[in-house]
Amino acid sequence: MPRALWNDQVLAETEAFETVEGNVYFPLGSIGADHFEPSDHTSFCPWKGTASYYHVVVDGKRNENAAWYYVEPKEKAANIKDHIAFWKGVTVEK
């Protein structure tokens, strides 16, 4: 069962997930919401659309823009709607 960890804290864990371009996308309902702060940062992927970001916060430490998600993914990426993925030092165990 995949899980995402940062600073020894489990951020997300699920049996139901999507994998796109080697990234595990966790359902939004599988995250510990108390570890996420909204970010104004966005990025654009030509086939997935515009990504929004969260800062990850654990024990007062903040990992800027370490989680991303697509509010309105393009049709080819519809399977990752309401899912979140991680990078920037967040470990994803499969």
Give the pLDDT of residue 66. Answer: 98
pLDDT tens digits along 4-37:
999 999 999 999 999 999 999 999 999 989 999 9
Domain total in the chain:
1
Nearest Cα to Cα of residue 14 among 75, 88, 85, 66: 85
pLDDT tens digits along 84-93:
999 999 999 9
Which residue segment(s) compose the domain that 20 sits in? 3-93
Interval 47-76 mean pLDDT: 98
Per the listing, tokens 């800062």 go with: 55
Distance (Å, rounded) from C-alpha 91 to C-alpha 62?
Answer: 15
- CATH code of the domain covering residue 70: 2.170.150.40
What is the pTM for the complete model shown?
Answer: 0.95
Give the pLDDT of residue 67. Answer: 98
CB 19 within 8 A of CB 25: yes
Mean pLDDT of the chain: 97
- DSSP helix/strand/coil, 37: strand
